[in-house]
Structure 1
């Protein structure tokens, strides 16, 4: 048997083979859709099987396998001989995949490998360690990539890697008799990963003396702590984390183990995580506005304010909002709220707070495990003292003498000035004026707090008219 010609037909795919015999089929974007590791042939019934590579020739509408003729003619070869090209399909750009790397086939690509024979279907396709009864170069490692895209910015509480172990070299069911297997954090893997192109083995995460073996200790899940690797992936917002399995002792047969990555039984990465809550909508209701001459700092007096903030929890848990108000005699206020619901605490601004006091405050949040903040709210100053007297008003033309002056459309300057009581602080910010009560037109005090203001006014009609004026301090 010199050649085995197989028909090959694709739609929208480009098929190519490299020098080692690895075959890939890629789509128009360059994403691998099908892949076949370099095919092999072996005498399946021998106690110490012999394995040889199989040549690959791609033609128009065909894939031809070229068996090793020396092996087929060798009298020592035990038939039947398995010649096995295996194609694996996977979703392009998938972030959860695996690769087997084999020192015996240093350029062979074994990406998302599926069982190729009855032995692999029963004992598992993933493996670590040196294969008993095979030459020294038959050493395997297995690497697994998991999607961690949604973990960016989370706090990782625990992460456990689990894999279904079916076979090992030792027949003992006592852990102390079994050589350890190691779990590593590695660099990235892809369809080009081979023994010669392995990722960096970054850190040894854990090791376990796992005992499952079919017929002796019963196949079972084996778990190992992978938290350190997942924490790093979450902190770096990495789309994947790759975990590698290898034997603790790769020189002898005692580290040989095999695992399922097939038939619905796949390695798992179980992660417990928590999103840190966030705070939004921090402010004061009703909204405060600074006066014209207040340097951007609002003043408040004789009113009740609501200090507000919303604690958000992406995981939907119960949260607590804690307000801290810094002014004499005010304690910290905590409120429990459902995530995403506004929390508010009232603050009475009255004579219990001395005039001129600056009030600062903030709000922090917690989901019971992780906290956020504090986030500072807008500060303000206190002025509970309203002006005692109304303003003084003067006009060169329109005088308060009950006599006729000017007329409709005849303007004159009106000047407003504070009229202070004894000991009163002159903190007048602006005046409101108009021909109706209450007046609504505003004019700022000239030059700063306590200044006068002048406006040009003309009476709206004949007869006696009243100009209404209000002077307004920093707190309104």
Structure 2
């Protein structure tokens, strides 16, 4: 049988097809791709059994008398879930015989035909007839390496039938390519909150930490994080939200809009009709990227109170009664606020106009009352404007209280 011309091949670093099940809500996400570069290579020859060809400038040959080995980088997928992986070369001339791909032991400068690494596992055999690209699927081998934390793999190429005199050859500068489709799960959501803020009235009243919301369509929010990159930018990520009565059956589930950022807030507004005034609920969230999910957050409870106080508060003071001249400069007098029939009063927002105007919020006691201690610094008319604030931060009608300091 005559010896055929050697066949030159080159690496093609393009992506390849893989199998994955994306989120039904956000179809066709892009997976991260890692291209494992060649770290070292050598070949061995039966015709020169004691000679090393470590990182040689010669052509790398695979055939009856020659075998080639390549160490390829896998450090970028350590600990990741492998979706697919392929090692491939591209030939550009001639025919060739079937070639076996093996996972082998380490190669060194001392590797020769007589000192070959162990041939650990045959990963496949490929015939290069009919196509310019020769491909071997190596997902199983890369999966094991990623799980074990191995930062590179060494592959060997040899003729499937060493009795065949045809030869499969590669030029040194056109080495094989290892393309790996992988994924790391996104981080568990952080910074769970209800926006624009829990129970916030307007300035300068502080947020009232009661866990109640003034709307039946609150916006749930949390911070998502995913370090993977897909294509030319960060991988898409979104949040999946669930809500239910406290300790009850699931009421609803929805996903936020996807975002291509490594760190991004995810927001979901609960649709109308799902939550009732006076109800107590809880919600949780997880991060998703179309291939993997984070763990669920803990359940976070909140209440809904959409009915603001229906009555203006009552205001009384023994020292400074309404519309009377009384007390005096430097004379302290308590001003007592009460719900006046309003339900679920958590506190009072008030403005006291005097020589030194005061804008403040005072929390209510268990019975709904609160006390404003007042010591005037100037004589004359004073005006108090006050509103009841419920547990959701919603204000009721305003009460104006006028009095005069002697």
TM-score clears 0.5: yes
What is residue 332 of structure 2 aligned with on the other side? 411
Q: CA deviation at 1:126?
A: 2.9
Alignment of 1:206 with 2:132, yes or no, is no
Q: CA RMSD in A?
A: 4.8
Matches within 5 A, 1:86-125: 95-101=38-44, 108-115=51-58, 124-125=59-60
1:227 and 1:278 mapped to 2: Cα distance? 22
Per-residue displacement from partner, 1:58-104 (whole Å, max 9, x unpaired)? xxxxxxxxxxxxxxxxxxxxxxxxxxxxxxxxxxxx84321235689
Alignment of 1:360 with 2:283, yes or no, is yes
- 1 or 2 for the larger relative contact order (CA 8 Å, sep ≥6)? 2
1:464 and 1:351 mapped to 2: Cα distance? 50
Please state whether the residue corresponding to 2:124 is helix, strand or coil: strand
Per-residue displacement from partner, 1:111-151 (whole Å, max 9, x unpaired)? 11232xxxxxxxx533366x4xxxxxxxx643112233444
Alignment of 1:145 with 2:67, yes or no, is no
Residues 469, 262 of structure 1: alpha-carbon distance in 2 compared, 3 angstrom cutoff: same
1:331 and 1:275 mapped to 2: Cα distance? 28
What is residue 383 of structure 1 aligned with on the other side? 305
What is residue 362 of structure 2 aligned with on the other side? 443
Please state whether the residue corresponding to 1:232 is helix, strand or coil: helix
Q: CA deviation at 1:307?
A: 3.6
Please state whether the residue corresponding to 1:159 is helix, strand or coil: strand
What is residue 287 of structure 1 aligned with on the other side? 197
- Name which of structure 1's ranges 436-445 and 143-152 shifts more when overlaid on structure 2: 436-445
Residues 467, 193 of structure 1: alpha-carbon distance in 2 compared, 3 angstrom cutoff: farther
Residues 187, 301 of structure 1: alpha-carbon distance in 2 compared, 3 angstrom cutoff: farther
1:308 and 1:151 mapped to 2: Cα distance? 31
Which of 152, 168, 192 does residue 240 from structure 1 map onto? 152
What is residue 15 of structure 2 aligned with on the other side? none
1:197 and 1:430 mapped to 2: Cα distance? 84
Please state whether the residue corresponding to 2:321 is helix, strand or coil: coil
Q: CA deviation at 1:206?
A: 1.7
Matches within 5 A, 1:52-63: none
What is residue 392 of structure 2 aligned with on the other side? 475
1:283 and 1:465 mapped to 2: Cα distance? 40
Q: CA deviation at 1:360?
A: 1.6
Residues 193, 362 of structure 1: alpha-carbon distance in 2 compared, 3 angstrom cutoff: same
Alignment of 1:267 with 2:189, yes or no, is no
Alignment of 1:399 with 2:321, yes or no, is yes
What is residue 141 of structure 2 aligned with on the other side? 229
Which of 339, 343, 351 does residue 434 from structure 1 map onto? 351
1:350 and 1:450 mapped to 2: Cα distance? 32
Runs of 5+ unmatched residues, structure 2: 1-36, 394-406
Question: Which TM-score applies when normalising by structure 2?
Answer: 0.62
Q: CA deviation at 1:273?
A: 1.8
Please state whether the residue corresponding to 2:379 is helix, strand or coil: coil
Q: Is contact 1:363-1:373 (8 Å) kept?
A: yes
Per-residue displacement from partner, 1:152-195 (whole Å, max 9, x unpaired)? 53643241333759999xxxx8x7xxxx7532223443445456
What is residue 33 of structure 1 aligned with on the other side? none
Please state whether the residue corresponding to 1:467 is helix, strand or coil: strand
Q: CA deviation at 1:441?
A: 0.9
Which of 372, 380, 405 does residue 463 from structure 1 map onto? 380
What is residue 254 of structure 1 aligned with on the other side? 163
Please state whether the residue corresponding to 1:110 is helix, strand or coil: coil
1:237 and 1:295 mapped to 2: Cα distance? 49
1:416 and 1:380 mapped to 2: Cα distance? 27
Runs of 5+ unmatched residues, structure 1: 1-93, 116-123, 132-139, 213-217
Greater gyration radius:
1
Matches within 5 A, 1:168-207: 181-193=99-111, 199=117, 201-207=119-125
Q: Is contact 1:289-1:298 (8 Å) kept?
A: yes
Residues 362, 326 of structure 1: alpha-carbon distance in 2 compared, 3 angstrom cutoff: farther
Q: CA deviation at 1:348?
A: 6.1
Question: Which TM-score applies when normalising by structure 1?
Answer: 0.54
Residues 202, 471 of structure 1: alpha-carbon distance in 2 compared, 3 angstrom cutoff: farther
Q: How many residues align?
A: 337
What is residue 32 of structure 2 aligned with on the other side? none
